[in-house]
Amino acid sequence: MRKPVEVIQGDKSLRLSLYLIIASYILLILLIEPALDFILLSLFEQNNVYEIDKINRIKQVVSALLYTVIGFIPASYASWFGYRIIASAKIPPILSSAKPRFPFTVIVIKGKPAKMFGVLIIVVSLVLIFQLILHLVNVLLL
């Protein structure tokens, strides 16, 4: 006889907070390029082609560095979340002794399938981190 499926109901206020965080993160990503343009154009005089080329090179390096740092945030969080899934052998992992709250309704998965999913999350996040580092090194060496 099968056990009944365990379901944890989603919390609407937590879901709205998650939407605000994601929207703020996307807005930050979209504002990097205009902010760099404004700062670099105000710092340098652009009288000739060489100055503009110098500004473009600085912008390319700084934007690659900023996008790498900003890309590390979700990738490292995903890696930590995968580790927590492996450690607890449960999806979603229980992070504290209090009643768990999640932004969406989730079905609890336990055992080996949960650990395998945790390993998959860690592998994908490490591949993304490696790709970010390779892109940064490629930009810095050109």
| Residue 84 is assigned to a structural domain of this protein | yes
Q: Which two tokens stand for residue 18?
A: 């998650």
| Residue 111 is assigned to a structural domain of this protein | yes
Q: Is the pTM of this model over 0.95?
A: no
| Residue 1 is assigned to a structural domain of this protein | no
Structural domain for 125, as ranges = 7-141
| Residue 128 is assigned to a structural domain of this protein | yes
* C-beta of residue 58 within 8 angstroms of C-beta of residue 42: no
Please name the residue that has the structure tokens 């090179």: 57
Over residues 51-109, the pLDDT tens digits come to 888 888 999 999 999 999 999 999 999 999 999 999 988 888 876 667 777 888 888 88
Q: How far is Cα 7 from Cα 15, in angstroms, rounded to an integer?
A: 17
Helix (H) / strand (E) element for 109: namely strand 109-110
* C-beta of residue 86 within 8 angstroms of C-beta of residue 92: no
Domain count, the chain: 1
* C-beta of residue 105 within 8 angstroms of C-beta of residue 8: yes
Over residues 32-64, the pLDDT tens digits come to 999 998 998 888 776 778 888 888 899 999 999
| Residue 90 is assigned to a structural domain of this protein | yes
Alpha helical stretches, state H, 6-111: 12-43, 49-88
| Residue 132 is assigned to a structural domain of this protein | yes
